[in-house]
Amino acid sequence: MSFLLRRLGFYLLAFWASITLNFLLPRLMPGDPVTRMLSRSQQRLEPQQVEALRTLMGVDGGPIIPEYFAYLGRILTGDFGMSISRFPTPVSEVIASQLPWTLLLGLTSLIIAVILGNLLGILAAWRRGGFLDSIAPPLLVFIGSFPYFWLAMGALYIFGINMGVAPMRHAFSVGLVPGFNLVFILDVAAHLILPALTIVLVSLGGWMLGMRNTMIATNSEDYILMAEAKGLRPHRIMLNYAARNAMLPSVTSMGMSIGFIVGGALLTEVVFAYPGVGYQLLGAVQGLDYPLMQGMFLTITAAVLIANFLVDLVYVRLDPRVRKG
Amino acid sequence: MSVPVLEVQELTVEYVSDERAVRGADRVSFTIHAGEIFGLAGESGCGKSTIANSIMRLLKDPARITHGKILFDGKDVLGMDEAELRAWRWNNVAMVFQSAMNSLNPVTRIGEQFVDVIRTHRGGTRATAMQRAEELLKMVRIDPARLRAYPHQLSGGQRQRIVIAMACALNPRLLILDEPTTALDVVVQQEILEQIRDLQNELGFAILFITHDMSLMLELSNRIGIMYGGRIVELAPSRILHHDSRHPYTQALLGAFPPLHGPKVKLTGLAEGVKFTNVQDLEDHGDGHWVAPTDQPVLSQGEAL
Amino acid sequence: MSQNAIDPQTLMAEEPLDESTVNRARVSATRLLRTLLRNGKAMAGLSIILVFIILALLAPLLFPGDPARITSAGASTPSLQHLLGTTTKGQDVLGLTLWGARSSLFVGFAAGIFSTVVGVLVGLSGAYFGRGLDEVLSLVTNVFLLVPGLPLLVILAAFMPPGLGTVIVVLVITGWAGSARVMRSQAMSIRGKDYVAAALVSGERPLRIMIREILPNMASVVMTTLLGCIIGSIGAQAGLEFLGLGDVNTISWGTNLFWATSDGSLMLGQWWIFVPSGLAIALVAFALALCNYAVDEITNPRLRRPKHATKSTAATTVARKEEK
């Protein structure tokens, strides 16, 4: 339990740091960000927007400490301010409408990549020097060297434009009414294929290599030797003894890579115009919608922290040495 | 004489790498009879663990057995295929590794680790296997409730007993103990040795006992083999070895453990830079005493201080 | 290893850090270099990178003038005149790619090196000074590791004035934590060794001990980390520029891809516009990864490919020369 509590405390600290960063960033920039923004955007902003912006940027004068606590209070109640590009929609609403799609894409890709990658890694380590062990790793590393979004572009081009087999944009076909019916679900699934495939392909190499190397290290442990001496069947040793132990470092690093996968997912969304947070982020950047950008940053960070905590829960379940006796 | 439980003939194990091959064990031969305790002693790196692991064919690349025979109850172990070997292991020969903590699966309960080996070889239900596990724990005087524990929750001594109990699970004819007490403190060592003796009396298995601790070896074994550089340099019943060792290396080894009683003498050991290269085959000195001939001088007793 | 590494699971791909890992890491720098030069993977990787660097340096000679100059030519497929075709704005794609190498490689290497330096400093200091400072530094490192890279990158870049300097700074801020963590673990293990204690007792100054005793023994780990940071920086930079947050006036592989998308080349099927830059990024990243792989193999013999396929639980091979 103390393990989990410590992790929770750590996540809260990280979240607090992100909030503080959000608060400080506009105030740390040289010059008056609002004016800079106005001149850059060439967009005529209404007085309320400018006012909201000033409050957000904290350039309406006034002492910093009380402002900070006011900001903290607002964030914790879910008030991220108003979006500039979609004035006067609150940022929280804008994000809430896109978050589900990103979660769908991210979780699907993550689960597939993790399961497939780890399985391949286990098999590769089990038969050293075999096909999986020698060909797959360099191949997957090569594929993983491509930037996520470039592979997305490639996939889009090959499967979407050239071969025309998969939907190319958006989460579901235009004109279809969202609802929990089979037609809609299948349509959504079809639109998921290309983006998810891209993310899986790029991250597969990492999972596989990681699991493989961990398995190789585990395979030299004494309890594996003892399991062999006991005359147990090979696949039992591979699964119950080796993989079961190798999973632990695997799970640990899964937590860390969630943050990274999120980045890749965001970029992939941009390419496929998948209406998730990532795609929105592009629009926010181009529209210099600072409140929206900040809100997204916090939301994404929170999601990553929650995911990490969930991973920790899984880890505690898997490793009896961490549970307090 | 009945067929010996284990017969090792001219066993040679080489570690093969790109540049060269190193002999971990070099034409090693010895025999273990039913119910006998045979000790293999020597310094670190002399090859005793290599021999132990090769009997069950547990050595991994780059080790390979390049010469010799291993006969168990007359059966050729080196000729067995994978399936035969798996069925043969633990049923006939079981091994207790040096560090019990490391030989137990850290994420599985103790009970499970008994159940899987019992069910693999004997079949049956989980319940019957658990029952057998409880019996085994009682034999080594550990509370059967410990079956639900994880390895890290037990003390060193408890773990060692459990590993020994696990080794006895299928009533093997031979138990290989590879430095079973090295990682434990002296008091626990005694208890474990007692335990092993009791079990042996009850179940009647033979033991291949590996250690570098000579005093332990002399206390426990019926016969002892002394290894050096992959070869056996002396082989004798323990009493004869204790009082009438003939090879200088054996004497040096024995001399390294000063007696607690008697006059104070200087420790005898090998002279500076003495190495035994090209150890010749053992010669029979009668009464089951075999010594490798050597031109190194027989060491004299140390002078009294 | 930066958090932005294209393959952050390379962090995981390193073995769990324990005694054996430290022992294998202590391969002296010179021996490492020599073995590296004999390793096929390393040579392949190094040659590819060298080729790119040379091309980047030669770009002004091969394509004099400003390749970003907009002409009225419009997009065209590869031809003898334009080996890789032209973009919607009539720019020569090959020229853009070659010139792009300059910025991408420069920023990538610079950010990678700086990230590693910061990581080494933080990691070593934490390991060396221990206690309070270590606690604080570890906490900071972990927070930076946890916060997702791309969003942080975006927000930092959005608020800072646009330009190459910003890109490098932002990349370092998001990238140093990975290397710091690895460095700290390694340094911790080495710190406990006797020769460090000896240096301490004989009164050497802390910085000297760090540089002369601890660092050389971590040579291979520093190398892999550096390579990983560079890979990460190149990838992160590309991502940043793709979103339009880099300096859109410089020519780099990332901005090439940005323009490719915003000009609609992708949807129009003009593959020759976006393939070269992406391929270039991948080749450089792959070459660096090859070098990394090679260093890993050299320092950890267990990872080397066995000569023939072997099952993990295979029994000892019996290779008797003659039958009795």
* Residue pairs spanning A and B at CB distance below 8 A: 73
Average the pLDDT over each of B15-24, B39-48, B49-58, C213-222 and give the range with the smallest value. Answer: C213-222
Percentage of chain C lying above the pLDDT 90 cut: 7
Q: How many CB atoms lie within 10 A of CB C240?
A: 28
* Average of per-residue pLDDT values in chain A: 80
Q: What percent of chain A has pLDDT over 90?
A: 6
Residues in chain B closer than 8 A to A125 (CB atoms): none
Neighbours of chain B (3+ CB pairs under 8 A): A, C
A106-110, B135-139, C41-45, C117-121: least confident range = C41-45
Chain C residues with CB inside 8 Å of A153's CB?
A: 257, 260-261, 266, 274, 278
Task: Say what the pLDDT of residue A137 is.
Answer: 74
pLDDT exceeds 90 at position B39: yes
User: Is pLDDT above 50 for C23?
Assistant: no
Per residue in A147-201, pLDDT (tens digit) is 878 888 888 888 777 776 667 677 777 667 777 777 778 888 888 888 888 888 8
Q: Is the pLDDT of residue C9 over 80?
A: no
Whether residue C24 is predicted with pLDDT greater than 50 in this model: the reply is: no
Q: What is the pLDDT of residues A17-51, one digit of tens each?
A: 988 888 888 777 666 666 666 665 555 566 666 67
Average pLDDT, chain B: 86
Record: contact C316-B69, CB cut-off 8 A: no
The predicted pLDDT at position B90 comes to 93
Give the residue, B300 or A206, on which the prediction is more confident.
A206
H/E/C letters for each residue in chain C? Answer: CCCCCCCCCHHHHCCCCCHHHHHHHCCCHHHHHHHHHHCHHHHHHHHHHHHHHHHHHHHHHHCCCCCCCCCCCCCECCCCCCCCCECCCCCEHHHHHHHHHHHHHHHHHHHHHHHHHHHHHHHHHHHHHCHHHHHHHHHHHHHHHHCCHHHHHHHHHHHCCCCHHHHHHHHHHHHHHHHHHHHHHHHHHHHCCHHHHHHHHCCCCHHHHHHHHHHHHHHHHHHHHHHHHHHHHHHHHHHHHHCCCCCCCCCCHHHHHHHHHHCCCCCCCCHHHHHHHHHHHHHHHHHHHHHHHHHHHHHCHHHCCCCCCEECCCCCEECCCCCC
Question: What is the pLDDT, as a whole number, of residue A55?
Answer: 64
**Residue B39: its H or E element:** strand B37-41
Contacts with C142 from chain A: Cβ below 8 Å: 10, 14
Interface membership of C321 toward B (CB under 8 Å):
yes
Candidate from A129, A144, A293 with C-beta closest to C310: A129
Beta bridge partners of B41: B211, B226
Q: Cα distance from A181 to chain C (closest Cα, Å)?
A: 31
Mean pLDDT of A207-223: 86
**Is A222 within 8 Å of chain B by CB?**
yes
The band of C305, judged by pLDDT with boundaries at 50, 70 and 90, is low
- The answer to whether B109 touches B150, Cβ cutoff 8 Å, is yes
- What does the pLDDT read at residue A42? 54
pLDDT of residue A189: 83
**pLDDT for res C160:** 80
Residues of B in contact with C310 (CB under 8 A): 61
Higher pLDDT, B18 or A62: B18
Q: Do the chains contact at C3 and A259, CB–CB below 8 Å?
A: yes
**Residue A18 at interface with chain C, using a CB cutoff of 8 Å:** yes
- For residues C182-210, average pLDDT: 78
d(CA B61, CA B63): 5
Within the 53-92 window of chain B, which residues sit less than 8 Å (CB to CB) from chain A?
56, 58, 85-91
Could you count the other beta carbons within 10 Å of the beta carbon of residue C36? 19
Residue A232 sits at the chain B interface (C-beta within 8 Å): yes
Q: What's the gap in Å between the CA of C194 and the closest CA on chain A?
A: 27
Name the neighbours of C, counting chains with at least 3 Cβ pairs within 8 A. Answer: A, B
Considering only B63-72, B243-252, C310-319, which range has the smallest mean pLDDT? C310-319
Kindly determine whether residue B107 and residue A320, on different chains, have CB atoms separated by under 8 Å: yes
Nearest CA in chain B to C322: B67
Percent of chain B residues past pLDDT 90, beyond the cut: 40
Name the CATH superfamily housing domain B4-260: P-loop containing nucleotide triphosphate hydrolases (3.40.50.300)
Mean of pLDDT values over B208-216 = 86
**What digits encode the pLDDT tens for the residues A288-322?**
778 888 888 888 888 888 888 988 888 888 888 88
Q: What is the pTM of this model?
A: 0.77
Mean pLDDT across the stretch B152-164? Answer: 90
Q: For residue C20, give the chain A residue with the closest CA.
A: A217
Question: Which of B103, B118, B121 is most worth mutating to test chain A (most A CB atoms within 10 A of its CB)?
Answer: B103
Q: Is A25 on the interface with C (CB under 8 A)?
A: yes
**Of A30, A285, A297, which has the smallest distance from its Cβ to C245's Cβ?**
A285
- DSSP letter (8 states) at residue B20: -
Q: Quick one: pLDDT at residue C115?
A: 94
Q: Which segment of A97-101, B200-204, C64-68, C175-179 scores lowest on mean pLDDT?
A: C64-68
The mean pLDDT of C240-268, rounded to a whole number, is: 82
Higher pLDDT, C170 or A137: C170
> What pLDDT shows up at residue B260?
74
Checking if the pLDDT of B130 tops 90, the result is yes
Q: Which of B65, B68, B69 sits opposite C316 (nearest CB)?
A: B65
For residue C75, what pLDDT is reported?
74
- Structure-model confidence comparison of residues A67 and C139, the more confident one: C139
Q: What residue type is A68 in one-letter code? A: Y
Domain residue extents for chain B? 4-260
Lowest mean pLDDT among B103-107, C33-37, C180-184: C33-37
pLDDT of C110 higher than 90 = yes
A142 to chain C: closest CA residue: C286
Per-residue pLDDT, C13? 39
Q: What is the pLDDT of residue B87?
A: 92
C-beta separation of A117 from A208 below 8 A: yes
pLDDT at A258 over 90: no
- Max mean pLDDT among B49-53, B294-298, C27-31 falls in B49-53
- pLDDT (0 to 100) of residue A60: 54
- The reported pLDDT for the residue numbered C25 is 45
Instruction: Pick the more confident residue, C228 or A255.
Output: C228
The pLDDT value recorded for residue B150 is: 92
Check whether C22 has a pLDDT greater than 70. Answer: no
Predicted pLDDT at C31: 67
The predicted pLDDT at position C5 comes to 35
Distance CA B153, CA B289 (A): 46
Q: What pLDDT, in 10s, does the model give residues A124-135?
A: 888 877 777 778
B174-178/B93-96 β-pairing: parallel
CB contact under 8 A, C321 and B69: no
What is residue B230's predicted lDDT score, i.e. its pLDDT? 87
| Residues 233 through 292 of chain A touching chain B, CB cutoff 8 Å | 233, 236, 240-241, 244-245, 248
**Which pLDDT tens digit goes with each residue over C268-284?**
777 888 888 888 998 89
pLDDT at residue number B291 = 85
Judge: B56–A221 Cβ closer than 8 Å, yes or no.
no
**More confidently predicted of B201 and A54:** B201
